[in-house]
Chain A
Amino acid sequence: MSTRERKRRFDALFASYGSDIVAYCTWRSGSTSDAQDAAADVFLTAWRRLDEVPEGDAARVWLYATARRVLANQRRSSRRRQALHERLAAEEASGAAEQQSPDETLVHEALRLLPAIDREVLLLAEWEGLSPAQIAAVLGCRRVTARGRLHRARRRFRMAFEELRDGQRRPTSIQVSQRRIHEHV
């Protein structure tokens, strides 16, 4: 592939899936700056390994799977700066509290109550629009497993949301930012 072809393909890749990967990194990493760094890392990886990136919609799944690994590495390295991380999280939480609607707070609180894998499967389906087959490819599990997890995650989310809404379950905090929720993913 010539350099010009590589650039063309890379541009098309970003145009088609850039916002998907940024969205995924946003809800997985929690802070905008971490999400930007992770998304940029994903596309730098894609540039370096462009020949390995599959064609068509499979490229989207490839990018999500890469983003998942990039975020895992980012999280491991970020443990060294956890104190700073937590302080920033608290600051962001207070900022987010002003912006979130009551519904959003309920959603984030309900998501936080889910097991990490359920949360990830649910959001890959509901926010990223992936099919169970694509989720299976991203997570590296069997299709039937992804389908089962998704069914369970939807049921658990709905129950958690309704319990919180009806006051049967106390929120663990009054306002929860996305950052704090998705640290657990």
Chain B
Amino acid sequence: MSTSESFEALHRANPRSNTGFAKTVDSVQAQISTAEAVPVHPAGRRRAGLVRLAAVGTALAVAAGVAALTVRSPGGGPGVDDAAAVVNKAAAVTANAAERSGTAAVRITHDGELWAGSTIRWYDGDLSVSRDAPDRRGRAGAHLLLVSGTLYGFEEGHWVIFGDPANIDPGSGTTPDEYVAAVREDVGGMTLRRIAGRVTGLTVTRPGNGSTVYQGKIAAGVIARETGFKDGEAIRVLPFGYVAHDEAANGSALLDVAVTVGADGVVRQISVSWGTWDYTVTYGSLGSASALAAPKNARDLVKERLRAVGRG
């Protein structure tokens, strides 16, 4: 048994995984609703029912050959508690597999067109982020590398040594620390546990390739965490550092979420959709990604600048 198994066991013991936890939450809501001092709007309950019906409709519409199980069915079968527990367990298994290394491909599409995307690869404390979609200046490709505590950037066809990641101006975009924190939060299972704990209207589908897809609705605030303020507006950031917008920027808006778990119990993909936007994180090579190497012939800008002013 590895050291991390004590934490896997701890995560499995989370009271959210207990059978009946959802009922306890419902009871609290009912308790508050019946208190005269707090006349909770009954629309919340009606809305939840409609969401479940909508989820059933979606599941029924899935093409033939796809097994669809609607949770909370009176005839038994996997219930919402079971499904949430499975996602929780998958989060723990994934966290364990991804502890040392892995890749995560992030894609944002708008109306089916790739709008932004990057691939994040990590190995121990090292990290690389490559842009898979052209940025506003038409550039794509590797743009950030952190190896043995030194940060490198790819600029105008050359690798450049930026030095200590702490030197990066936090106002200039996602910092290496933020990327590392996002990776740790995502692959450490925290994001998945948040999803498992708060998804509603959960349905389970099996596409036939051995994987299982858990779909439901989730409040945007659960998946897009508030990280600060800009121009008086809260900034919410999706997993792996993309700023949320439109409905996703509204913490209470309900978004569609899907978690795909492979036959081995490891999470393969997290998908969040709102309006015409789709946001997908696909995991790969968990525990088996190769080590990162510092780029050869990287230019040291500091030395070059010192040399230019005659001090190098």
Contact = CB atoms under 8 A, between A and B. Distances in A.
Interface of A: 7-8, 10-12, 14-16, 18-20, 22-23, 26-27, 32, 35-37, 39-40, 43-44, 47-48, 55-58, 103-104, 106-108, 110-111, 122, 126-127, 129, 154, 157-158, 161-162, 165, 178
Contacts of A19: 16, 21-22, 25, 197-198
Given A20-B197, A55-B234, A106 B9 contact: yes
B38 A47 contact: yes
A15 B219 contact: yes
Q: Is chain A's interface secondary structure helix, strand, loop, or mixed overall?
A: helix
B29 A14 contact: yes
Given A22-B24, A56-B234, A15 B44 contact: yes
B81 to A, nearest CB: 12
Interface residues of B, number: 44
A5 to B, nearest CB: 11
A11 B251 contact: no
Interface of B: 1, 3, 6-7, 9-16, 18, 20-22, 24-25, 27-29, 31-32, 35, 37-41, 43-44, 190, 193-194, 197-198, 219, 221-222, 225-226, 234, 251-252
A57 B226 CA distance: 6
A43 B41 contact: no
Contacts of A18: 25, 28-29
Given A15-B252, A19-B197, 11 more contacts: A7-B39, A12-B219, A16-B221, A18-B28, A19-B16, A32-B20, A55-B234, A104-B12, A126-B10, A129-B193, A157-B6
Contacts of A106: 9
Contacts of A15: 44, 219, 252
A91 to B, nearest CB: 17
Nearest to A55: B234
B9 A16 contact: no
A36 B252 contact: no
A5 B72 CA distance: 32
A55 B9 CA distance: 34
B221 A36 contact: no
Given A40-B35, A57-B225, A11 B44 contact: yes
8 pairs of A and B residues whose beta carbons are closest in the complex: A12-B252, A161-B6, A56-B226, A57-B226, A103-B9, A107-B13, A26-B15, A40-B31
Contacts of B6: 107, 110, 157-158, 161-162, 165
A50 B162 CA distance: 47
Contacts of A129: 190, 193-194
A10 B190 contact: no
Given A48-B37, A104-B13, A36 B27 contact: yes
B10 A157 contact: yes
Contacts of B10: 107, 111, 122, 126-127, 157, 161
